[in-house]
């Protein structure tokens, strides 16, 4: 039998991206979302939440390395890290390549963790590490209530809809600022520069208003996300990613395996920020 099955993500009713499916591994529903894992011909296994690609085995390294190593190499000595979202485990896996002491991993949906552990072991392989403290709760509520202080906060969130909407709002950034140490920094997934420029502009404004002195978006290719061009935004109280000593990164990378990130990418990704994106966040 020739199994000719395709998964199509439709973006804003007008654009779609399709992959041919080899096998459907899991379909289920949690309290928060519909969860699907498929095996595809060209992208390996893919996690889909509410019909939206979250991650695929083929291109996840681009996203997870850049959301993690840029902030963790910008901070000179990150020990306490908070990851919000990121239920597939890819970000936690990358964080643990650094000599951190503790990772508080705040994910809303324990079903995503359970499914990732079973079907996406390449990503979820470090979730049960002894340094990881998994907290199943809403990240918005967590940062509003916690007394803990972190060196780095990483917000590995989906699109700003449903329970993730508040992760893109003013109040959230004020609370993240509050739970960072005085030289702390944060990074967040901030959507497509091409399709969501207004959102990125608002996020940058909220971050500045929250008190961060350095706010810098960075963009990169992401084949399975709408427009193929994606962004993170770094917000820092003190450290500037462009002032990091490349030689120190190079030295540390000798004992760390990466596929996308290196000391040249660390600065180059900011230096190559497209003009329209830089202009959008100039105030």
Using the rule CB under 6 A, which residue among 65, 80, 109, 196 binds ligand SAM? 109
Cα dihedral 92, 210, 271, 229 in deg (nearest 10): 60
CA-wise closest residue to 139 among 127, 125, 154: 154
Q: What is the C-alpha separation between 275 and 187, in angstroms, rounded?
A: 21
**Does 108 contact ligand SAM by CB under 6 A?**
yes
User: Do 137 and 106 meet the contact criterion of CB atoms below 8 Å apart?
Assistant: yes
* Spatial distance between the Cα atoms of 142 and 75, rounded to a whole number of angstroms: 23
- Rounded CA gap, 133 and 85, in Å? 13
Instruction: Note whether 189 binds ligand SAM by CB under 6 A.
Output: yes
# chain residues binding ligand SAM, by CB under 6 A: 23
87 touching ligand SAM, by CB under 6 A: yes
CA 51, CA 263: separation in Å to the nearest integer? Answer: 36
Strands 150-156 and 180-189: parallel
Rounded alpha-carbon distances, angstroms, from residue 229 to 62, 63, 180, 259, 277: 12, 11, 29, 18, 12
- Rule CB under 6 A: is residue 187 a binding residue for ligand SAM? no
The residue from 71, 78, 139, 184 that contacts ligand SAM (CB under 6 A) is: 139
Q: What residues between 6 and 25 interact with ligand SAM by CB under 6 A?
A: none
Q: Which of 187, 202, 189, 82 is nearest to 143 (CA)?
A: 82
Binds ligand SAM (CB under 6 A): choice among 65, 104, 156, 196: 156
Query: Among candidates 205, 181, 161, which has minimal Cα distance to 50?
Result: 161
Least gap, CB of 5 to ligand SAM (angstroms): 23
Least distance to ligand SAM, CB of residue 16, Å: 17
Q: DSSP string spanning 211-265?
A: T-SEEEEEEEE-TTSTTSEEEEEEEESS--GGGS-HHHHHHHHTTS--SS--HHH
Rule CB under 6 A: say whether 226 interacts with ligand SAM: no
- Binding part of the chain for ligand SAM, among 69-77, 158-166, 232-240, 275-283 by CB under 6 A, reads 158-166
Our finding on whether 167 is near ligand SAM (CB under 6 A) is yes
Q: How far is the CB of 144 from ligand SAM (least distance, A)?
A: 11
Q: Where does this chain touch ligand SAM (CB under 6 A) — which range of 16-24, 134-142, 205-213, 236-244?
A: 134-142
End-to-end CA distance of the chain: 59
Residue 7 and residue 19 in contact, taking contact as beta carbons nearer than 8 Å: yes
Q: Which of 95, 96, 106, 152 lies at the binding interface for ligand SAM (CB under 6 A)?
A: 106
Q: Which of residues 44-63 bind ligand SAM (CB under 6 A)?
A: 54-55, 63
| 156 catalytic per annotation | yes
Q: Among residues 80, 88, 156, 159, which one is catalytic? A: 156
> Does 123 contact ligand SAM by CB under 6 A?
no
Among 94, 107, 196, 263, binds ligand SAM (CB under 6 A): 107
Q: Which of 62, 132, 157, 277 binds ligand SAM (CB under 6 A)?
A: 157
Residues contributing to the site for ligand SAM (CB under 6 A): 54-55, 63, 84-88, 106-109, 112, 138-140, 156-158, 163-164, 167, 189
Q: Which residues are catalytic?
A: 156
């Amino acid at each position: 039998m020739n199994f000719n099955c395709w998964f199509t993500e439709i973006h804003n009713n007008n654009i779609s991206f399709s992959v041919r499916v080899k096998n459907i591994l899991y379909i289920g529903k949690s309290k928060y979302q519909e969860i699907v894992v498929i095996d595809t011909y060209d992208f390996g296994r893919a996690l889909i939440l509410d019909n939206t690609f979250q991650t695929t085995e083929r291109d996840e390294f681009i996203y997870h390395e850049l959301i993690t190593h840029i902030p963790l190499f910008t901070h000179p000595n990150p020990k306490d890290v908070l990851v919000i979202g990121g239920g597939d485990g890819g970000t936690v896996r990358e964080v643990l390549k650094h000599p951190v002491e503790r990772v508080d991993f705040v994910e809303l949906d324990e079903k995503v963790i359970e499914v990732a552990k079973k079907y996406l072991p390449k990503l979820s392989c470090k979730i049960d590490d002894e340094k990881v403290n998994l907290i199943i709760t809403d990240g918005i509520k967590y940062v509003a209530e916690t007394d803990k202080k972190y060196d780095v906060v990483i917000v590995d969130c989906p699109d700003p809809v449903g329970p993730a909407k508040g992760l893109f709002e003013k109040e959230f950034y004020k609370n993240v600022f509050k739970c960072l140490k005085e030289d702390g920094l944060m990074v967040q997934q901030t959507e497509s520069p091409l399709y969501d420029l207004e959102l990125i502009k608002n996020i940058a404004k909220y971050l500045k208003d929250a008190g961060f002195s350095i706010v810098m978006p960075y963009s990169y290719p992401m084949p399975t996300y709408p427009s193929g061009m994606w962004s993170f935004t770094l917000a820092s109280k003190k450290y500037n990613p462009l002032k990091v000593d490349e030689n120190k990164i190079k030295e540390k990378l000798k004992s760390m395996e990466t596929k996308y990130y290196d000391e040249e990418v660390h600065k180059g990704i900011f230096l190559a920020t497209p003009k329209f994106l830089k202009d959008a966040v100039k105030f």
